[in-house]
Amino acid sequence: MKEIINVEMKARKVEFSRCKADMLCVGLFSDAKGLDKLNAELNGKLEGAIERVIKLGDFKGKEGTIAIIYGSGNIGARRVMLVGLGEKKKATLETIRKASANAANKAVAMKIRNIALAMHRAFGARFDLSTAGRVCAEGVYFGGYRYDEFVTESENGRLDSLEVELIDSDPAKVRKLNKGLLSGVVIGKAQSYARTLANRPGNVMNPPELAAAAKKMAKETAGISCTVFDEKQLAAKGMGGILAVGSGSQNKPRFIVLKYSPASKAASAKPTIAIVGKAITFDSGGISIKPSAKMEQMKLDKSGGIAVLATMKAAAELKLPLNVYGIIPAAENLPSGTSYRPGDIITTFSGKTVEVQNTDAEGRMVLCDGLSYAARQNCDIIIDIATLTGACMVALGKHKAGLMGNDEKLIKQLQRAANESGEKLWHMPSGDEYAEEMKSKIADLKNIGGKWGGACTAAAFLRQFTEDKKWAHLDIAGVDMFEKPSEFSAEGSSGFGVRLLTTYLMNAAKKK
């Protein structure tokens, strides 16, 4: 199988116009009056080429656009790429991240293996340079990512590696950029790892294979341990929810428990956090089978669990002074003679019973066991992440994930992490009036509510398994994938949640 594109990044001190690169990338705002110092200098050396492109109207600095100018003997780089940054007053960290993604995406598309980025220059002192270095790296990994490990045709093959340098002429700035770059590389690589695992199809990535991937990651990463419960151990523990969902498939369910314990003692003063991710390796709906159109997209129903796996990897590589559990209930939801059925009453790990009214509402059936298991470890905070409901997609579209929870402070901290990571969230309700809809006449709960507010009733169901811990729920249905490629990304898995959760953990680790 083909490896994904290997991205190598570093920060380097060099005069912009002397930098020898296949392509030097600089940023321009759409509403800037005239060129900034760096671009004016390059423009001079390029005999006015930047001004000509702008005067001709071929480049307006809009976000997502670029223009390429070919070098002259007066500069070191063979090409200069102008990268649009949009309006200056609207610029955020996400602007730098997207510009970096756009540049890396174009470099891969054009098979340019060596690029130098100087986009941070356009922002002056607006952002801390270490943060800028981090988001540049995150953006490069995001935009440079491709998934083609099963494409065997080698003709016209894509790049196997991309070298990226963040450049500045001031050594103090280079040091700051480099500091952030190092964590950005960890986060970017973790997100690409997540995207590859998520993009793998159901015949390749089933629950035992996912468990094997988790074991491998834990073995290769200092500070992480991994325990996996197989179907026999699940039965012994009474984990009826995950067992019911997995009962229709030959590929038996697995319950994956990762634990990250840092080497430093500083962690004991901080809360212990559990992140729980839904990993349905393929969701056909089961006996309540889904329509066939686009059912193939349901290989991505493991995205929440994989975001947890990749976040654990990033947290450990960043050596965060924080104890973190990563809990991943993994099952395949298929119809067969051994499947669970509508009408079944299931006893979950918590002891609570659930009447199954729709086997396609399987995410909550595996998560309830994951949440109660998390609550029974010594953790203070539980965050779950799941491609849980089509209703969340109806409510928020494909731009933001749903955020529910029982603790205002935790909600605020996650909203802050969302703003910083560019993985956006929108707060939605999940209170008692929604929980009311999930009551069954013949069991403690049923697994579907009424026609309306499906994302909220699903969250209200989950809340009842959190045993009064501080809890938040991220419904990532819709944001887990891109249906089409864009200026910033390849199609397929988005790796949503890896940047968000890692940022949340980084912030939690910093707090006194």
Catalytic residues: 290, 364
* Contact string 386-425 vs ligand BES (x = CB under 6 A): -x-xxx-x--------------------------------
Between vectors from CA 194 to CA 261 and to CA 141, what angle results, nearest 5°?
105
Strand positions, DSSP E, 78-233: 79-84, 114-117, 161-168, 224-229
Partners of 116 in the beta sheet? 24, 165
User: For ligand BES, what does the binding mask look like between residues 445 and 474, x meaning CB under 6 A?
Assistant: ---x-----x--------------------
475 binds Mn ion (CB under 5 A): no
For 460, the enclosing helix (H) or strand (E) is helix 454-463
CA distance 284 to 280: 10
Is-contact 373 367, C-beta < 8 A? no
Place of tokens 């071929």: 58
**Interface residue with Zn ion, options 139, 207, 248, 363 (CB under 5 A):** 363
Least separation in angstroms between CB 360 and Mn ion: 4
Question: Is residue 301 a contact point for Zn ion (CB under 5 A)?
Answer: yes
Does 105 participate in binding ligand BES (rule CB under 6 A)?
A: no
477 binds ligand BES (CB under 6 A): yes
Task: Please answer whether residues 301 and 283 qualify as being in contact, where contact means their C-beta atoms are separated by less than 8 angstroms.
Answer: yes
**Which string of x and - marks every residue 355-384 that binds ligand BES (by CB under 6 A)?**
---x-xxxx---------------------
Does residue number 283 form part of the binding site for Zn ion (CB under 5 A)?
yes
Q: How far is the CB of 492 from ligand BES (least distance, A)?
A: 14
| Type and span of the H or E element at 246 | helix 240-246
Quick one: tokens of 53? 């492109």
Binding positions for ligand BES, 200-229, rule CB under 6 A? none
Single residue of 138, 209, 283, 420 touching ligand BES by CB under 6 A: 283
344 lies in the binding site for Zn ion (CB under 5 A): no
Cβ–Cβ < 8 Å for 153, 186: no
Query: Pick from Zn ion, ligand BES, Mn ion, none: which does 405 bind, CB < 5 to 8 A by kind?
Result: none
Minimum Å gap between C-beta 147 and Mn ion is: 23
Closer of 65 and 389 to ligand BES (Cβ): 389
Q: Which residues contact 311 (CB under 8 A, 6 or more apart)?
A: 190, 275, 326, 497, 498, 501, 502, 505
One-letter amino acid identity for 374? A
Shorter beta-carbon distance to Mn ion: residue 303 or 489: 303
Q: What is the 3-state secondary structure (H, E, C) of 205-217?
A: CCHHHHHHHHHHH
How many residues sit close enough to Mn ion to count as binding (CB under 5 A)?
3
| Minimum distance from residue 337 beta carbon to Mn ion (Å) | 20
Nearest to 473 by CA among 382, 392, 362, 409: 382
Q: Single out the residue of 94, 165, 332, 360 in contact with Mn ion (rule: CB under 5 A).
A: 360
Name residues contacting Mn ion, limited to 272-291 (CB under 5 A): 283
Distance in Å, CB of 389 to ligand BES, minimum: 4
Q: Which residues of 235-259 are buried (b: 16+ CB within 10 A; e: fewer)?
A: eeeebbbbbbbbbbbebbbbbbbbb
Contact set with ligand BES (CB under 6 A):
283, 301, 358, 360-363, 387, 389-391, 393, 448, 454, 477
Contact set with Mn ion (CB under 5 A):
283, 360, 362
Contact set with Zn ion (CB under 5 A):
280, 283, 301, 363
